[in-house]
Chain A
Amino acid sequence: MKPLLQMTDLHGGYGDANILHGVNLHVAPAEIVVIVGPNGAGKSTAMKAIFGLLKIRGGSVTVGGVDITGWEPNRIVEAGVCYVPQVDNVFREMTVHENLEMGAFLRSGDLSAAYDRVYGLFPDLKERRKALAGNLSGGQRQMVAMGRALMLEPKILLLDEPTAGLSPKYMEQIFQISRDVRDTGVAILLVEQHAKQALAFADRGYVLASGCNRHEGTGADLLADRDVADMFLGG
């Protein structure tokens, strides 16, 4: 299948020094792809590079064949890519429903179908739609963040460590919801600290180390790989 998102030989970083030294990855439509790797491998950086949140010095990012390298974030959002940052990913002083409304900021017309879809994926949120997002638990806040991003009906959702700091129960729930989202036709690219669990649940995975591709393959293949295991899965 033709890839939905393709990152080719990407070089870049925040300041003068490069953190990414030629990263290649692709995501097919309705596929869950996970990026794992040791600390400092450039996982989150690779994700931010898609969103133009750092200096790109080489390579390209395409979505549906269109080169989006260096675009402004709001144009990338319009192109169908939504990004959920790891921290500060909700509007704390706004209600759950208003957070979703902000997610749909670029859309006009009737949004009831979009609300139904998001509240269908996250029944917890429907109950607490009038609550301030800042008053929710960490897991529920992550759901608000994902819901906000889904309001634009993106083609691909980027999740930066969605399970960081969550209990195993919530981690499982986030993974389950991610599968549900994938089943509605949305591709997901996520960065994960919990490599074992993430590889077990994803369709495919990439292992990054020192800003380069180290391994790639299906989740099961990577879990079975000796080198991957030795590197950071704790044997």
Chain B
Amino acid sequence: MGALEIINFYLVPGLVVGSIYALGAVGITLVFAILRYAHLAHGDLATLGAFLGLGLVTALGISPYLALTAVMALTAVVAVGIDRVFYDYLRERPKIVTVMASLGIALMVRAIVQMVWGVDSQTYTRGIVRPENWFGIRVRDRELITIVAMIVLVVALQLFLQRSKWGKAMRAMSDNPDLALLSGVDNGKVVTITWVIVGGLCAAAGLFLGLNFELKAMMGWSMLLPMFAAAILGGVGRVEGAVLGGLIVGVAEEMSTLFLPTEYKAATAFAILLLMLLVRPTGLLRGKVL
């Protein structure tokens, strides 16, 4: 098999799915860093985003790309709401209680999606899209847009974290929460901003997953393990690490089908996760030790 085949059949699809994992993993890593728990409803929040997108696409007849910002905003509102009603209430309790609660939220969100949109697979657009040919490398428009959108969103997030006052407050809260409070940072506001960002990223991940594959109620949940693997691989708390981790897990999953039956694709993320925890638990970019 030539290099071009490897690129077309493994690397490109790997980078596309990796970009989707990256969007999710960045959110997971932010929740880990600032709120300090594993958010198990992350995948199902992405599912919700994807189906909210479907709702807008069918109701208004717009393209899914146009729906993206609206879906991100809507899911951000849902995420903040979930935090206010459930997680915030448990803030003083041991973190494992919130982790378990987030599992409950995951089931609840999924059930709502199933009640509203049914249990059958759906798509944003019908018909087969033929890939464009760039000097032998074949990429579909939606694949290119997925990768570019991920990069744009992550760069925007990094600029916010590095340059803005509240972005710095988020980093401070992740770094040393007590000292952030002593500096006068309003903890509640940081938590709200975090959920706005995390909800938006979840929705983007879900929408692009639905765009490149299909929409179904389990789509987000089955993405949870690779997203966590990506966040841990990159180093917990590291945004750029989560992106790197997402891309590696995505490409590794696709590449694994070269040697292993396709059914083992999902196990690749698990293998990477285990290996990383054994060899270098702080991740590639030295994240927090949990």
A interface list, Cβ under 8 A from B:
51, 73-74, 77-78, 82-83, 85, 88-94, 98, 101-103, 105-106, 148, 152
Contact = CB atoms under 8 A, between A and B. Distances in A.
Contacts of B179: 85, 88-91, 102
Interface residues of B, number: 17
Contacts of A152: 184
Interface stretch (B116-124, B167-175, B200-208, B222-230): B167-175
Contacts of A103: 183
B176 interface: yes
Given A98-B168, A101-B168, A105-B169, A90 B182 contact: no
B182 A73 contact: yes
Given A78-B184, A148-B183, A102 B178 contact: no
Nearest to A77: B184
Contacts of B176: 88, 90-92
A106 B178 contact: no
Contacts of B181: 73-74
Given A85-B178, A102-B183, 8 more contacts: A74-B185, A91-B179, A92-B175, A93-B174, A94-B171, A102-B169, A105-B183, A105-B185
B132 interface: no
Contacts of B186: 74
A93 to B, nearest CB: 5
A94 B175 contact: yes
By DSSP majority rule, is chain B's interface helix, strand, loop, or mixed?
helix
Contacts of A91: 171-172, 175-176, 179-180
Contacts of A51: 182
Interface of B: 165, 168-169, 171-172, 174-176, 178-186
The 9 closest A-B pairs by CB, nearest first: A106-B184, A74-B184, A91-B175, A77-B184, A93-B175, A102-B183, A105-B183, A102-B172, A105-B184
Nearest to A93: B175
B165 A105 contact: yes
7 contacts: A73-B184, A91-B175, A91-B176, A92-B176, A94-B168, A102-B185, A105-B165
Nearest to A74: B184
B178 A77 contact: no
A229 B176 CA distance: 39
B91 to A, nearest CB: 16
> Counting chain A CB atoms within 10 Å of each CB, which of B172, B176, B186 scores highest?
B176
Contacts of B185: 74, 102, 105
Nearest to A88: B176
Given A94-B168, A101-B168, A105-B165, A83 B175 contact: no
B134 to A, nearest CB: 40
A102 B175 CA distance: 12
Contacts of A98: 168, 171
A105 B178 CA distance: 14
A101 B175 CA distance: 14
A83 B169 CA distance: 18
Given A92-B176, A105-B165, A83 B182 contact: yes
